[in-house]
Structure 1
């Protein structure tokens, strides 16, 4: 067996050192029952509303069979739900349950504490040098992802029509709602387009509720399937809530079937449900 080149040997030596320091050679990450790959699956899902199985495999770069075994185990343990996507029954999506998010939270908390222990012996200068060296390694090895710019803005020309067209079977109802919004021109009402790199990918409207003058109505909340999992829906909901409060409403309500993506976003955004009606008060 030939001797590795000096630079190869030094890189391998550093890898052995660092994996020992951060403890990834242990059976479980930081004393948890999860391997490094399993912890990474939890990490990816914890930062998204839901995620396609094929997308998850692409992000992790692991074998489909290996990922399937992890997902089966997590499903059996009650950490996640795996189901057909609402917009395409052939596409499988996964999302963490409350138990799964709690499991990720425990790992994340322990990783924070472990990193704090790692940095504790270093003074401010030493910490700066360490972080700068890490940044240098990432840049040198090509870790330069181009950020996707997400902007929430008012609808541009023709985009009220785009909102209507994206609601499929509910297009006629969407047309009625949008037409009413456009005709009223009420300053207490507003509409948003979620724009990713110049293209519309989502929408939401904040309208008056005819049955309750003190309550705003959040409606036509939608995020395109290709843009889901990046927190865009939560940002749209947060913007509707901010607007409703700023113009003097006491509450905001929305309708969403239990278990739907919209319902999960509303639940995480502080809304309480009564059947399919979700309400947030302040």
Structure 2
């Protein structure tokens, strides 16, 4: 898709969103405040007092425009401004009790507006909308504050495991045959009937899948860790560690005495997670490497 089509899609969304959320009304949520004024009240209420220069930087507002907005809020008795006692060159803005009341009123009205938007939607559409908005926030550098839950994969979600492994590894490494190897692993997993001895987990936030890992039987006493993956946007928050811990806890509870895994020497982040969990390298080989220019590594951990 050309950049012009991307631009048109984003602008279309902006128009639709401002209409359904009434962002263009003179009085945002019937509060008597404009949208920028309401946002300032919200931000000052979250952390009060705070430096005006920090507030302006956070919201990317023009200095003169910020001053005019704060002047109007101060005249309404919603905020106060005073010199910073530790640095008289800086000005601190604080919320008043009247400002806190307005912030609570706005929060209730905003929740009601969003609920009115979501409630008529079928559950699948509602989940897709929330997951898409979570993706938008991540892509634009404003990740969600919602917690990430690790749970067993549901019907159809192993298709996501295959798709994202194929896409991410192609983008980051370009290994030939990798998608076929993942498809074979998942086919073997789905072909086994004993669910008490194997499991696949996904990491989910607001309906959006962010990672996965599997545990399958190698033999009666040995489990195999399979297909650890964390979305690029979710890396750096110990999600890979949590997924591996979930796999190890399951393997121990299922009665396995040992767990093994196969990885590549190029996967430095994953290798660090395995080493931290107690895995050690048994041997390396080029013959079964998925990377034409690297080595396959075979790791193990004694669970007993």
Normalising by structure 2, we get a TM-score of 0.45
- Which protein has the larger Cα radius of gyration, Structure 1 or Structure 2? 2
Normalising by structure 1, we get a TM-score of 0.48
> Which has the bigger relative contact order, CA under 8 A and spacing at least 6?
1
